[in-house]
Amino acid sequence: MALYEVYNPSGIQGWTHQVRLGCELLEKRGLPRTNETFDRNLYRRLRNFALYHSCGGRKPTFLGRPEWRAILGGDSHDELLDILLQMPALMELMDGYKKRYGQAIPDSLLRHILREFRQLEVQLLQWYWRLQCKETVPLFDLQYALPTDERFVTDETSQIAFFSQQHLFELLMLYWLGCVVLYTFGAEVPWQMEVNLPGPTLLSEAVKVPNADTTLTALLIEKGGIGGAEESEQLAAHFAHRVCQSVAFCMRPGFAMAGLQILMTPVWAAKQFFLHRTPGKVKWCQMALDEMGSRGVKLAKVIRNISQDQYAAMKETNWLESVQLERVESGDWEIA
């Protein structure tokens, strides 16, 4: 029943409660035994939800600790989660520095933040390169196609992202989610210095791979890695756009609801990036979340109006149990 509530929640309160309980159970059981099917399945299922919950609340999870990573090696999905689960700790650290110092963060602390950011960036790029080399088909294709729902086609989303295999769709949704979150974070950092780290040596090779995302490769090669808030902003916009291009693909008749569940969090993350930048795209993402809700993904309709600040406040102050929850679930909550 707890797992059913995670996939088909009655509301955001039930979802967050079940994710927390599941993580507590996993932590109390200890490191999973790789030869035990139940341990492996529990570990794998919960890590995705723990990532969503931790990034939404900007708080780390125990699953990001070194001893909880690299347990099920060799699988692209597990390797990607090993990287992404490190992000919430960096977000919490930055929030603490901003709360204490405002924009005048000491150079030594800022340098540490930027080095950690760069290292995550390199890890993600290397993961993407490995995936390109591993697969024998394009990771995705951009095509002009007649959509089944005209509402999800704009000038910027006239090209639809198509995925030839289900596992590639799942991997790229998770990768694009992580990149939207990471580069949105990078755009918010008060960059005051250059942080000299070796650039990803694999970048120059990636462009030779036929299934490369050439737009992404060109952006990164031209910049030589990320050098400031402006470059982070560009890349966050790039990945948020990729997520939006996937919506029409998922809205086709007969597309499994499981795919919409996977798409939901990346669309919410894209909405967060657009929140104080492009109001029209915020409305577009909300429309997509509404449609997911009408197709059975109940949580999508709830989170359409919740910002990351509001989600973090819910987690820290038991805001979920207050009367305001009813306003959120009924759709009456206004964007801050």
What is the secondary structure of 105-124 as a DSSP string?
--HHHHHHHHHHHHHHHHHH
Residues of the chain with pLDDT > 90, as a percent, come to 29
Residue of higher predicted confidence among 333 and 248: 248
pLDDT of residue 332: 42
Task: Report d(CA 309, CA 58) in Å as an integer.
Answer: 9
What is the pTM assigned to this prediction?
Answer: 0.84
Q: What is the DSSP letter of 335?
A: P
* Residue 96 reports pLDDT greater than 90: yes
Least reliable range by pLDDT among 31-35, 190-194, 255-259, 285-289: 190-194
pLDDT of residue 8: 59
- Where do the structural domains in the chain lie, given as residue ranges? 1-197+206-307
Amino acid identity of residue 305, one-letter, is N
Residue of higher predicted confidence among 298 and 152: 298
Amino acid identity of residue 142, one-letter, is L
Tokens of 306: 């919740």
Q: Which residue in this structure is represented by tokens 């948020």? A: 240
Q: Which residue in this structure is represented by tokens 């999973």? A: 32
